[in-house]
Amino acid sequence: MSRDPRFDILFEPVKIGPVTARNRFYQVPHCSGMGYRYPNAEAQLRGMKAEGGWAVVSTQEAEIHPTSDLTPANEARLWDERDLPALCAVTERIHHHGSLAAVQLVHNGLHVANRFSRMIPLAPSHAVGDGLDPVQARAMDKSDISDMRRWYRNAALRAKKAGFDIIYVYAGHDMSILQHFLSRRHNDRTDEYGGSFENRLRLFREILEDTREVIGDSCALAVRLAVDELIGPSGITSEGEGKDIIAALAELPDLWDVNLSDWSNDSQTARFSEEGYQEPYIRFVKSVTTKPVVGVGRYTSPDSMARAVRQGILDFIGAARPSIADPYLPKKIEEGRIDDIRECIGCNICASGDNTNVPMRCTQNPTIGEEWRKGWHPEIITSSPAPEPALIIGGGPAGLEAARALAQRGVDVLLAEGGKEWGGRVARECRLPGLATWGRVRDWRVGQLSARANAELYLHSALSADDILQYGIPHVAIATGSKWRCDGVGRTHRQPLAFLEAGNLLSPDVLLDAGASAVAAGGPVVVFDDDSYYLGSVLAELLARAGRTVIFVTPEAQVSPWSKNTLEQARVQKRLIELGVEIICAMALADRTKDRLELSCIYSGRRRQIDCDTLVPVTARLPDETLWLDLKAREADWADAGIQSVVRLGDCLAPGTIAAAVYSGHDYARTYQEQIDRDSPPFLREDIGALYAGPVKRE
């Protein structure tokens, strides 16, 4: 296949100061959850992006000094020379595939609590930090400013020594000391570094000039700037000081990387934004600078990418999440394989890795984070040396991925789904408000399987244990999913609540199948959310949009607290408020009559009653393991039937996220003929012991 000429513009080389990017695909700095603790994994991850065709590959932010300590978050570090080997490994892997390597130098100012270094955070003015740590940042004096400039110079020199081609000075996401100096919210100084716009810009300008001086003419200088904080006149706006900053420094850097602040605005989920959603804020940038511009917007469509370049909005198509979902996105466009692109669904499960301090995961790409420790490649799976047929039962995310990856390995696969459509839970959830892109999990896999001659797909094909034994296919994987409980059992209530049946009780599964019409108009619908992720809130939204009176009850202190990790909790709660949903927090279920629900405060036990016509408990799920149990009961018959292995996958094994289900299916396909060692980790570990050099001796 050949490239569509409409996309030729995306493969033009672009100069960035003294270096040249071979195309317009630019993986902007993004966290991975690997950072300085897992250097081999970090290097292999970035190298895979370069292999996939990204002309520029950036690492995550690199802390420049121990007063900028993000522990327990696991980013890059350039505190001293001892950090160079890890970063040299990154640049080496990126350069191996002909791409430019970029690093983002950061001092986080009042954004950090310095939990590990125990040093006092620094800020333009005396201030409390961003989080809940009982720590305050102290106002920097002139000697601190002098130190800060030196720390940036030293870090830039180390970055150059590590082999980076592009060195960033970062002023974004409300996480940078430089943005804090620029901000009237954070900077109330009365000296030459505060007050007027020029004064607040001074340190940023000085550090840019310092960095330019020390990196010389072999490295490019980049700026990452938040042009709008989406908080109106009290913050930086694209029509105000965001534009003024770029105009004032227009030609100083070699590249402008522009975005929104904070991270939850910059990386909005598909539930709350469309592809290219940042364009209205960054459209002005090329009118005030001649330097190339990169921006993001969760671009997955090559048509949208080419349009953004042709319209003069961007010179580079920046990506974090789309490059995670498909590290080979550029190559697939270049080779004319548009249908093979694994499009990001905008769920932000990737961001949850950084926010929970672990290596990232992705709903679409189960190989992310496993490039080094498991040796998984996003495009290549070793062919099975002696492939034996496999039967996959269940066409949800786990079953589809298992069948797809097995077929790629050369295995003859039969995929049987008892229902009328592919996708399992994905098919139902993608019909909920804001979750349409989640259907890509199903669509991509069905498309890939449809092109495989060795994969047979059957709908309306519920199988029994007798059927499976009769078929005698050597390897069987059961991926029949799970069902929502209706007995109240979850995190808060560990035993069934018999009193729930005193009134109308509706399973989330009914709403997922029938929509809001499953609830007749009448009294209030109470959604009791003890799941704490997205489903309770999106079902409440579904019902409210259909005109139902909705009360959202949760034992937690806020709506959908785990969605903080996917950067959308505030938007979730705001939307319910805007839809008129009554929100009751910190309450458990205590009793029920036909039309009333009694709640109990999780702290005091104090009770209150609310009207309740229908109760929808979103608490926990049970695996749909009937087929597994039936087949397991006849294990003695497996050998005679020619069955060598039977396993459970995804939610049928243990209900979890869609990402976990996809991962489960993929892992099965990689290992389906192997004997698993249950006594050792199923992956490589970083050699921490080799790094220990003993205590420092002090005179």
Looking up residue 596, the CATH number of its domain turns out to be 3.50.50.60
| Residue tagged 């093979």 (tokens) | 340
What pLDDT was estimated at residue 683?
86
Cβ neighbours of residue 540 closer than 8 Å, sequence gap 6 or more: 527, 529, 550, 552, 576, 581
> What is residue 695's predicted lDDT score, i.e. its pLDDT?
52
Nearest to 106 by CA among 53, 56, 148, 164: 148
User: Model confidence over 170-201: pLDDT tens digits?
Assistant: 999 999 999 999 999 999 999 999 999 999 99
Number of domains in the chain: 3
* For range 527-531, the mean pLDDT: 98
27 touches 75 (CB < 8 A): no
Same domain, 150 and 192: yes
133 shares its domain with 234: yes
Q: Which amino acid is at 244?
A: D
pLDDT of 691 reads 46
The active-site residue, picked from 152, 170, 193, 534, is 170
173, 180, 475, 666: which is the annotated catalytic residue? 173
Closest CA relative to residue 50, chosen from 90, 94, 104: 94
| pLDDT of amino acid 674 | 84
Least confident piece of the model among 39-48, 260-269, 400-409, 678-687: 678-687
Q: Is this prediction's pTM over 0.85?
A: yes
- CA atoms 118, 192, 214, 58: torsion sign: positive
Handedness of CA 81, 82, 85, 86 (dihedral sign): negative
Q: What is the 3-class SS of 613-647, one letter each residue?
A: CEEEEECCEEECCHHHHHHHCCHHHHHHHCCCEEE
Kindly report, residue by residue over 73-94, the tens digit of the pLDDT: 999 999 999 999 999 999 999 9
pLDDT at 10 over 70: yes
Whole-angstrom distance, CA of residue 219 vs CA of residue 92: 16
Burial class (CB in 10 A: 0-12, 13-18, 19+), 76: buried
Please give the average per-residue pLDDT across 303-329, as a whole number: 98
234 and 114 inside one domain: yes
Please report whether residue 197 resides in a domain: yes
Last residue of one domain, picked from the residues 355, 377, 410: 355
- 549 and 475 within one domain: no
Q: Which residue, 213, 216, 220, is CA-closest to 56? A: 220
The reply to whether 471 belongs to the active site is no
516 and 451 in a common domain? no
- The span from the CA of 422 to the CA of 438, in Å, is 13
Cβ proximity of 103 and 42 under 8 Å:
no
432/148 Cα distance (integer angstroms): 49
The answer to whether the CB of 652 falls within 8 A of the CB of 664 is no
Q: pLDDT per residue over 543-564, tens digit each?
A: 999 999 999 999 999 999 999 9
165, 228, 257, 266: the catalytic one is 266
CA-nearest of 444, 423, 577 to 513 is 423
Domain assignment present for residue 385? The answer is no
Q: Which tokens in the block code for residue 185?
A: 């919210």
DSSP result, 404-444: HHHHHTT--EEEE-SSSSS-THHHHHTTSTT-GGGGHHHHH
How high is the pLDDT of residue 363? 98
CA nearest neighbour of 571 among 272, 371, 302, 292: 272
CATH number reported for the structural domain that contains residue 458 in this entry: 3.40.50.720
Mean pLDDT over the full length of the chain: 96
Same domain as 629, residue 598: no
The count of C-alpha atoms lying within 13 angstroms of the C-alpha of 197, restricted to the half-sphere facing its C-beta, is 12
Place of tokens 């990452």: 224
Binning pLDDT at 50, 70 and 90, where does residue 689 land?
low
Report whether 320 contacts 57 (CB < 8 A). no
pLDDT of residue 679: 80
pLDDT of residue 690: 54
Closest CA to 204 of 228, 223, 227: 223
Q: Is residue 107 included in any domain, yes or no?
A: yes
Report d(CA 541, CA 511) in Å as an integer.
12
Residue 698: which pLDDT band, with cuts at 50, 70 and 90? very low
Euclidean distance between CA atoms 315 and 312, whole angstroms: 7
- Give the integer Cα–Cα distance in Å for 308 and 312: 6
pLDDT digits (tens, 9 = 90+) for 498-518: 999 999 999 999 999 999 999
How much is the average pLDDT of 50-79? 97
CATH of the domain at 104: 3.20.20.70
Element counts in the chain: helices (H) and strands (E): 22, 29
Which range of residues forms the domain containing residue 512?
484-622
Looking at the fold, whether 247 and 258 belong to one and the same domain comes out as yes
Confirm whether 31 is a catalytic residue: yes
Could you confirm whether 170 is annotated as catalytic? yes
Q: What is the per-residue pLDDT across 228-244, written as a single tens digit (0 to 9) for each?
A: 999 999 999 999 999 99
Structure tokens at 89: 């490994």
* Cβ partners under 8 Å of residue 77, min gap 6: 35, 36, 62, 63, 83
> 186 φ, ψ to 5°?
-105, -20
Q: Do 406 and 308 share a domain, yes or no?
A: no
Q: Assess if residue 364 is contained within a domain.
A: no
Q: What angle, rounded to 10 degrees, do the helices at 39-51 and 84-96 form?
A: 20
Are 173 and 241 in the same domain? Answer: yes
> From residue 645, how far is each of 106, 389, 671 by CA, in Å?
51, 11, 12
Q: What's the number of CA atoms in the CB half-sphere (13 Å) around residue 78?
A: 27
- The percent of residues above 70 in pLDDT, for the chain, comes to 98
User: For residue 688, what pLDDT is reported?
Assistant: 55
Q: Inform me whether the pLDDT recorded for 598 exceeds 60.
A: yes
Q: Which of 418, 619, 655 is nearest to 508 (CA)?
A: 619
699 confidence band (pLDDT: 50, 70, 90): very low
Q: Would you say residue 696 has pLDDT above 80?
A: no
472 and 540, same domain (yes or no): no
Residues 157 and 80 in one domain: yes
